[in-house]
């Protein structure tokens, strides 16, 4: 009898600095994925919702939502990187590349860029840089993330390899003009709000007001759509004996929910161009209601463009806590997500 063909995933011992992981399974994205994304989050950004609006912005068809692209690329990395992860610790240096359209086929490749063991001898942290590529080998996304991973054997000796120094945020000068659609003909009547780049001020806070309660079926459908196999999201039999006694919701589900809620006040922030950083502050469970608010942290022009500008947004999501008072991560219970990103807005 040969050794079992199935795999329990990689442990800390299985990673080495410089290692390249070509992730399975390539995935052709379709209008079906787009419809499900709308049904899961209720997203209403005009660029992604309407072929005609997208064409008025110089694209040949409506692009997929940036976070849908993120989730699909991320999902591919899970079987190799985070099946035995204890926690998804952070993101940095995220950039969205060429637009993704229905019909494109995506795959993902990661490089291990750092490993360190925790002092408890049971776990460690693995840093990877992941790239999402389309069928033409163009980069659709790249980002760094670091995860806490279990050791297979506590007695193992781990060769540490400190990660390269990561940028605190993506420099706005490095954001390519071509990653921002043409907003010269942007129709604020159709997009839903009149606010343009000049209307936003650094320091401004926006309560997105609405709340959305999550059901088990919803986050499971979403996470499977992304072909993300992390066990904690699906297996109540095992999780009933686990840390929380229940299934944990994929952190990316929270990002997309908050992003969709943020339409109310940021309807014209139709394009995410960079993920500066982010932290899943606390776990989310079915039955919780998600709220969100955003702060404008910075503004930047795009060289040579008078149709579009950049906003650096901090987007905070909470559970069972409305955001009229703009709760912070350190305020105590309630905050579940603290995300830092650059978005493009018409001028």
Q: CB-wise, 146 or 263, nearer to its own copies?
A: 263
The reply to whether 287 sits near its own copies by the rule CB under 8 A is yes
> Hey, what's the torsion of the CAs at 231, 235, 240, 244, to 10 degrees?
40
* Strand spans (E) along the chain: 20-28, 85-96, 105-117, 123-133, 139-150, 205-207, 212-213, 271-280, 289-302, 305-319, 335-346
**Mask 227-246, x = binds its own copies (CB under 8 A)?**
xxx-x--xxxxx--------
Among 10, 12, 49, 197, binds its own copies (CB under 8 A): 49
Largest Cα–Cα distance in the chain? 69
DSSP codes of every residue in 16-62 = -TT-EEEEEEEEE--HHHHHHHHHHH----HHHH-HHHHHHTT-SSP
Q: How far is the CB of 93 from its own copies (least distance, A)?
A: 26
The residue among 40 and 115 lying less far from its own copies, judged by its C-beta, is 40
Answer for which of 15, 33, 81, 337 binds its own copies (CB under 8 A) is 33
Closest distance to its own copies from the beta carbon of 162 (Å): 29
Contacting its own copies within 79-138 (CB under 8 A): 79, 102-103, 105, 107, 135
**Nearer Cβ to its own copies (170/270):** 270
Q: Which of 154, 159, 215, 306 binds its own copies (CB under 8 A)?
A: 215
Site string for its own copies, 145-184 (x = CB under 8 A): ----------------------------------------
Q: For residue 116, how many other CB atoms are within 10 A of its CB?
A: 16
CB of 29 vs its own copies, minimal distance in Å: 9
Contact 87, 146 (CB under 8 A): no
Alpha-helix runs per DSSP H in 147-250 = 188-191, 216-225, 236-239
Determine which residue in the list 158, 225, 281, 282 makes contact with its own copies, applying CB under 8 A.
225
* Pairing status of strand 271-280 against strand 212-213: unpaired
Is 45 one of the binding residues for its own copies (CB under 8 A)?
Answer: yes
**Stretch of 11-19, 87-95, 261-269, 305-313 lying at the interface with its own copies (CB under 8 A):** 261-269
User: Is 24 among the residues that bind its own copies (CB under 8 A)?
Assistant: yes
Which residues, 179 to 208, sit near its own copies by CB under 8 A? 189-193, 195, 199-201, 203-208
Q: Encoding tokens for residue 332?
A: 């105590």
Contact call for residue 26 and its own copies (CB under 8 A): yes
In sequence order, the β-bridge partners of residue 110 are 21, 130
**Residue-wise burial string across 206-242, b where 16 or more C-beta atoms lie within 10 A, e elsewhere:** bbbebbbebebebbbebbebbbbbbbbbbeeeebeee
Query: Which span (90-98, 146-154, 211-219, 331-339) binds its own copies, by CB under 8 A?
Result: 211-219
């Amino acid at each position: 009898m040969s050794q079992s063909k199935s795999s329990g995933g990689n442990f800390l011992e299985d990673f080495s600095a410089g290692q390249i992981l070509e992730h399975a399974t390539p995935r052709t994205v379709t209008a079906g994925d787009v419809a499900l994304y709308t049904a899961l989050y209720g997203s209403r950004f005009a660029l992604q919702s309407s072929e005609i609006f997208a064409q008025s912005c110089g694209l040949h068809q409506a692009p997929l939502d940036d976070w849908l692209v993120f989730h699909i690329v991320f999902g591919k990395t899970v079987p190799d990187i985070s099946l035995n992860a204890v926690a998804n610790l952070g993101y940095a240096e995220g950039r969205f590349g060429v637009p993704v359209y229905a019909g494109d086929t995506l795959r993902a490749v990661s490089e291990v860029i750092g490993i360190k063991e925790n002092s408890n001898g049971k776990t460690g942290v693995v840093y990877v840089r992941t790239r999402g590529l389309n069928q033409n080998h163009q980069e659709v996304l790249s980002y760094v993330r670091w995860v806490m991973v279990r050791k297979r054997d506590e007695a193992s000796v781990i060769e540490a390899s400190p990660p390269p120094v990561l940028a605190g945020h993506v420099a706005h000068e490095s954001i390519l003009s071509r990653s921002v659609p043409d907003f010269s003909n942007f129709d604020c009547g159709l997009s839903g709000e009149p606010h343009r780049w000049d209307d936003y001020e650094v320091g401004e806070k926006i309560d997105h007001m609405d709340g959305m309660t999550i059901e088990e079926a919803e986050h499971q459908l979403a996470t499977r759509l992304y072909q993300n196999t992390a066990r904690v999201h699906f297996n109540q039999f095992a999780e009933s004996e686990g840390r929380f006694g229940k299934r944990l919701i994929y952190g990316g589900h929270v990002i997309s929910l908050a992003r969709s809620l943020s339409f109310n006040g940021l309807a014209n922030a139709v394009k995410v161009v960079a993920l500066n950083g982010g932290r899943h502050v606390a776990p989310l469970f079915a039955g919780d209601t998600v709220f969100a608010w955003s702060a404008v942290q910075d503004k930047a022009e795009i060289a040579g463009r008078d149709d579009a500008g950049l906003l650096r947004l901090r987007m905070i999501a909470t559970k069972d806590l409305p955001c009229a008072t703009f709760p912070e991560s350190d305020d105590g219970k309630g905050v579940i997500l603290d995300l830092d990103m650059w978005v493009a807005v018409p001028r």
